[in-house]
Amino acid sequence: MTENETFYWDSRPLLEPIYTAKHISNFVTGHKGVSHMERNTLQIAIVMAILIGSATVIGMFWFNTTNESSSSLNFYVLGDSQGYSGGLAQVVTSANENQPDFIFHSGDLTPFGQENQYADVIDVIDNLRVPFYTTAGNHDIRLGGNHRYEMLFGSSTYSFDFGPAHFSVINTSTGTISDQELTWLEDNLVQSSAEWKVVFTHIPPFDPRQGENHTLHDQSAGERLMSILESNGVNAFFAGHIHMFNLTTLDGVLYAISGGAGISLYADTDSSGIYHYLNVTINSEGILVEPLLLETPVLQRDTITIQGSDESVTLSIQDLKNLPTIEEFSSFQNQYDNWRGQGVYHGVKISVLLELIGGIASNQRLRVSAIDGFSQDFTYCNIYPNTTWYEYQGDMILAFAFNESIVPDWSNGLRIVMIPEDGGYSNDDCAATSAAGMGYNVYPSAGARWIRFIVLMEVTDE
């Protein structure tokens, strides 16, 4: 704890977090606040500088104020690493070298909140030599992950003072904000007399992309949140959830989105779809926000990325093994009518995997791509077959093991596998279960549908 760091105990009962060495989750401030009229007016000046490198400043954003801080403060912000250890490890390395006051992770540390996924996060931040704060994201609380998160990190609702600033953290992991949570935030901000007020959470109250709405489910809760920020003198608000970088100023509040520490982006580079973290400085000049580039993740053959319209997840073999699995005999017919691939396959239903990213609509399709670029499109009816299609095709699974040999030892996996009741997916079966413009209608082979070396599955509208 530095000499500028002051904590005040929270009287609300919380689970005692295991990982208190890096994340101090059960402290809040009790300072008196200042009125909205006493708040300093922000003035904006933006300077862009694009360079090349794994930790290059691609933009410098000064938000100037007449406020004269008694001391400066420097911290990192990142979000949505979602189990990709590479980005988080780069941030930890940078922090250990440059010694910011702390790191804040805005949630979605894991793909879907499993014990092994949290263990991977802990392995990385165990090497960190500065304080680490976080809040839960919507991925972190899935499949019982909320309890694992709280045991490790404590509550996602807390606050702390650091140097000249007061930081309030709220929980938006469920996609909304309760009235109780918003009341707590307002009371917490009113009680603070810090020169700077900053709020952290996972899901922002609006989506800066035109025509998109990957934000809180309850629009009225988002509007109330923004009203609380404005009326209580909040200078900056940091969130993740949307996989890109964005800065927007509304009614004097700087809204910063940093969701680029994982392996999928929601925008192209020209629209600030970049792998990055933020280097934030608060001093007498104002707030400086510097997005620093991270290395572009490399897809591994023993991981798979599943991308939906608004959600994405990257899964390891261990992640797949932790999901409900199927183990059955099957085989396929190739373009020469020869039977291949006879054996016992172990995997997860595609329908189960798509539930992790919000599912698939009946008018959408699933594009499955291999590491070499080969891809196949599947219709909704392949994933949720009716009685007739099920007789021909059976369950559609992502197999990670064949005859007890698991990827990467199984050289043909990860692989799409159909499991009809008769144990054989023939060319006739493939023709009967291929929608127009897909499958057998494009390439007449059941074996072509059993894609090998899969690295990506995307739900598309095409």
pLDDT at 104 over 70: yes
Distance CA(353)–CA(351), nearest Å, equals: 5
Q: How confident is the model at residue 274 (pLDDT cuts 50, 70, 90)?
A: very high
Fold of 5-293: Purple Acid Phosphatase; chain A, domain 2 (3.60.21)
Provide CATH 3.60.21.10 ranges for the chain: 5-293
- Is 388 buried (19+), middle (13-18) or exposed (0-12) by CB count in 10 A? exposed
Taking alpha carbons only, the member of 356, 354, 371, 460 closest to residue 414 is: 371
What pLDDT does 70 receive?
53
Cβ contacts of 280 within 8 Å, gap of 6 or more:
74, 75, 76, 77, 236, 238, 287, 288, 289, 290
pLDDT at 375 over 50: yes
The percentage of residues in the chain with a pLDDT greater than 70, rounded to a whole number, is 84
The model's pLDDT over 398-430, given as tens digits with 9 standing for 90+, comes to 999 999 999 988 988 899 999 999 999 999 999
Q: How confident is the model at residue 61 (pLDDT cuts 50, 70, 90)?
A: low
Provide the token pair at 37. Answer: 């009229």
Top-level class of domain 303-460:
alpha beta
CA 204, 141, 453, 317 torsion-angle sign: positive
What pLDDT does 265 receive?
87
DSSP letter for each residue of 159-188: EEEETTEEEEE---TTSS--HHHHHHHHHH
Distance CA(203)–CA(216), nearest Å, equals: 6
| From 2-11, 245-254, 298-307, 326-335, the region with the lowest mean pLDDT | 2-11
- Which position has the higher pLDDT, 21 or 294? 294
Tell me what the pLDDT averaged over the chain comes to: 85
| From 4-18, 61-75, 164-178, 231-245, the region with the lowest mean pLDDT | 4-18
Residue whose structure tokens are 């991308």: 307
Phi-psi domain of 164 (left: phi exceeds 0; alpha: psi -120 through 50; beta: other): alpha
What pLDDT does 111 receive?
87
Distance CA(323)–CA(314), nearest Å, equals: 14
Provide CATH 3.90.420.10 ranges for the chain: 303-460
pLDDT at 391 over 90: yes
Angle at 432 between CA 431 and CA 434, to 5 degrees: 65
